[in-house]
Amino acid sequence: MALTKGAFYHHFGSVPKFRMALLDWYEQRRTGAVIEAVEAAGSLGPRDRLLRLLDEALNDTDDAAGPDLEVAIRAWANQDPQAAGMQERVDARRVGYLRELLAGLGTADPLRTGAKTDPWGNFPGRLRGQRHDQPQ
């Protein structure tokens, strides 16, 4: 990042404020924007909304917000209470949204298989039978 120290502090004010801005950006970009894109598609049925969710997650062309960022943020959340709180919020929102979509398909308890530990950060990979640590 080509910023001077003065420009950094002028924009963010402090390192903790920068970290908070980064966490807010991550939450909005990797969860809020994905859900908003699915909902903006109009009056789709549950199956089509789920397919749209997969499309949004798989076709994210912003390298800065890709799967490596998911892994890095989760690692950060294991060490930092502020990041952990945000990750818990993100996971709860993701799980809730997935439950809503899958329940619309008639699935009784769609996420009892352990998706809670990494909801949708690797959701598309999970559907393909892959994990973060496996080559695609």
- Where exactly are the structural domains of the chain? 13-127
Total Cβ atoms within 10 A of residue 48: 14
Contact 119, 98 (CB under 8 A): yes
Q: What is the mean pLDDT of residues 55-82?
A: 81
How many CB atoms are located within 10 Å of the residue 109 CB? Answer: 9
Q: What is the pLDDT of residues 79-130, one digit of tens each?
A: 999 999 999 999 999 888 888 888 888 876 655 655 444 555 555 444 444 4
Percent pLDDT > 90 in the chain is 21
**Two structure tokens written together for 124:** 């598309």
Count of C-beta atoms within a 10 Å radius of residue 122: 21
| pLDDT bracket for residue 5 (50, 70, 90) | confident
User: Quick one: pLDDT at residue 101?
Assistant: 86
Q: Are 49 and 104 in contact (CB under 8 A)?
A: yes
